[in-house]
Chains A and B, each alone.
Chain A
Amino acid sequence: MKFIQYIGGIFTALRSLAGGMIVTWKELLTPKVTMEYPENRKTLVISDRWRSELIMPHDENNEHACTACGICMINCPNGTIQVTSSSIDTEDGKKKKILDKHLWDYGSCTFCNLCVITCPSDAIIFNNDFEGAVFDKSKLLHRLNHEGSKLRDRKKEASTLDTSAKKENKEA
């Protein structure tokens, strides 16, 4: 009886092992899943919502929507955003805050998206340009507002411009 078990055990084991080998054999012939980056750059699809780099969309007049309110900075959990502003006197004599620098540190961002969802004027978004590697740590500090840019006049512009600017940026 024991002898039969012994022989039976051998065959059960061999059958189970053969089962495993059949699976690997089938896999040998299936299409491979490796993506050959960077050769596949042209066909690579990055999802629209992919959060990669924080940007401030500017329109063709080099205008953005940031009012320098600093809510993104307050909401950021780890001090990744620094907004510096200065106040100027407008034509009608009122004080107005304008944006000097909107600094964002790629290196310490956790991509939690809080800044984007809390921004009252939808001035910043994440794009999906994922190739952000640099050779120098200091280059990770991005200035989001362009040189010489200014605040878009809300009354003049409809929100259509805003969306078109966003689209443009995505395509870029």
Chain B
Amino acid sequence: MNNRDAYDTAMNEITQLIQQIAPDAQIEAKQRLTVTVRPDQLHPVIEALYGNETLCFDYLISLVGMDWGDRLGAIYQLSSSVDLTREVIVITATADRDNPLLYSVTDLYGTAHLNEREIYALFGIRFINNPDMRRFLLNDQWKGFPFRKDYVHDPKLNPETVVSSEIIDVAPHIVERDGELIEESVAVFGEEDYIVNIGPQHPSTHGVMHFRTSLDGEIVKKIDVHSGYIHRGIEKLCESMTYPQMLHLTDRLDYLSANINRHALCMCIEKAAEIEVPERAQYIRTIMDELQRISSHLLAWATHCNDLGATTAFIYGMREREHVLDIFDKTCGGRLIINQNVVGGVMFDIYPDFQKDVKAFIPYMRRRLKEYDDFFSHNAIALGRMVHIGLLSREDAISYGVTGPAGRASGWSCDVRRYKPYALYDQVEFKEIVRTEGDSYARYLNRLDEIEESLHIIEQLIDNIPSGEVCAKVKPIIRIPAGQFFQSVETGKGEFGVFIESSGDKNPSRVKFRSPSLSAVSVIPLISQGAFLSDLIGITGSMDFVIPDIDR
């Protein structure tokens, strides 16, 4: 009750605050407080929310570009780093479809930079005061803005080409000076810069990531993140699919947390369509999520070690991950893309020996964790490669929205499982691992410790799986009521969110996935500036991102 009151007072405070700045803003208290403002009021409103000391909306969960047919706009989901349950949504839109302009919030949130560039590429909305308004995900030659509803999908407009085009190093941007909008362009790199392409084909970018790195000897001067090589337009694809069909695409975002991503989408649909998930399914989901987290962290550990040159550790990590995959394989017939969650529950019940296998895995994994510790965690060379490398301060972590083990290594307690418990996380006991060092080593240790915590969670659940149905009865065609829905979960990489805007149809009208990897990548230019080239590789390894999750 107390919480509720505090919540209400906070919300009142927000309302008052916003009304002072933008008297004509529409404020609705839906599931979350939703504020609709004019484009010119957007920045002052967000700045006020950001700067307010008691509310402290300093965490931009996601920035969603929108096309409502007559208007183009953006949805800002703000939250507070102190209390993740505190959320507010700010919506703004412009009717100008030919030259839509909004104000940038990059000065407040670091993560806004790449998100705004993505919105520009997909919706054609440009952001005033964003210092670098090149398209992200799409190349500069792309004609049309594919996520607009009136986009003409014609291969003739954007023919497939095998000829590589030069990357343009000139960044256009719009600045506002004395009330006037001035279009300018700046060079991304200097004339004399020694630019090395780390990627798109590179052993250590964990996929087709492209870091254009300017070097001074071995020292990294500047990094330009260039991504989108496997942009499949999953969000757009979702708009043409029914809700059950959409599910199989989430596994293909962050494929290392496939099951957890899918869990998020299922929960979002279940919340919207008000479907009750059976208890047994919740148990299975939670256990599978934790197993998935273990496998994700194992792979992250393995690849991080491999990036630092320890090939042997890579094989060890993969070997242990295989045990988890075997359990997945037996449960639902898939190893990487496991298709376990469906709307209303899970597709497959656990197999008879599931509990036995998982219980055998737990002590095995504990022994291995001990081995990892002996093998790598105290190794003098490894320490030299990780301690005080890639320092990420708490403020930067929040500003760039770096969540997950990496965010918690910078002292930011941001575990969605703790703040916004879903499935059975409010019934199990687990520690949130928070370290304050903010270096690669803290991120490294956080992952290993989280594996231990995951094992602990599984231990609490594995013997108590209740009998019953594994899937609620769901109508063959699922429709969710009109409105906006958001659900976030804690994947192996951080906070993964699903945003659905529905018009009540059987297809969603907009889907947006909040990608933890995008945040991790957006902060890399900042934290690896001045580091050695080798450390850049080590830092990317420690941030643990997955490219399909960035490109979507």
Contacts and interface: CB of A to CB of B under 8 A. Distances in A.
Interface of A: 12-14, 16-17, 19-20, 22-24, 27, 33, 47-51, 75, 77, 110-114, 117-118, 126, 128
B16 interface: no
A77 B329 contact: no
Contacts of B383: 16
B295 interface: no
Contacts of A77: 241, 245-246, 248-249
Contact of A75 (B244, B316, B333, B381): B244
B51 interface: no
Interface stretch (B82-90, B116-124, B368-376, B430-438): B368-376
B339 to A, nearest CB: 5
A101 B120 CA distance: 46
B348 A49 contact: yes
What are the 5 closest A-B residue pairs judged by CB atoms, nearest first? A13-B380, A112-B248, A49-B333, A77-B245, A23-B375
B246 to A, nearest CB: 8
A20 B374 contact: yes
A75 B246 CA distance: 11
Contacts of A118: 476
A48 B132 CA distance: 53
A110 B330 CA distance: 18
B378 A19 contact: yes
Interface in B349-406: 351, 371, 374-376, 378-381, 383
A17 B333 contact: no
B440 interface: no
A113 B348 CA distance: 11
Interface string B240-280: 01101111110000000000000000000000000000000
Contacts of A51: 333-334, 339
Contacts of A33: 319, 322
A77 B332 CA distance: 19
A51 B334 CA distance: 7
Instruction: Please report whether the interface of chain B is mostly helix, strand, loop or mixed according to DSSP.
Output: helix
Interface residues of B, number: 35
Contacts of A113: 333, 339, 347
Contacts of A27: 312, 316
Q: Which of A12, A50, A77 has the most CB of B within 10 A?
A: A77
Given A17-B381, A20-B375, A24-B375, A111 B312 contact: no
Nearest to A21: B375
A50 B348 CA distance: 12
B502 interface: no
Contacts of B337: 110-111
B334 A111 contact: yes
B374 A19 contact: yes
Contact of B376 (A13, A20, A49, A110): A20
Contact of B248 (A12, A20, A110): A110
A146 to B, nearest CB: 24
Q: Which of B244, B342, B380 has the most CB of A within 10 A?
A: B380
B433 to A, nearest CB: 23
B333 A112 contact: no
Given A16-B380, A75-B242, 13 more contacts: A14-B380, A19-B378, A20-B375, A49-B329, A49-B330, A77-B248, A111-B333, A111-B334, A112-B247, A113-B339, A113-B347, A114-B244, A114-B248
B331 interface: yes
B118 to A, nearest CB: 24
Given A110-B337, A112-B248, A113-B339, A49 B374 contact: no
A112 B339 contact: yes
A80 B540 CA distance: 37
Contacts of A24: 312, 375
Given A17-B381, A75-B245, A112-B248, A23 B374 contact: yes
A113 B332 CA distance: 10
Interface string B214-249: 000000000000000000000000000110111111
Contacts of B379: 16-17, 19-20
Given A23-B375, A24-B312, A50 B329 contact: yes
A114 B243 CA distance: 12
Q: Which of B241, B332, B333 has the most CB of A within 10 A?
A: B333
A109 to B, nearest CB: 10
Nearest to B241: A77
Nearest to A14: B380
Contacts of B334: 51, 111
A126 B347 CA distance: 14
A40 to B, nearest CB: 15
Nearest to B310: A20
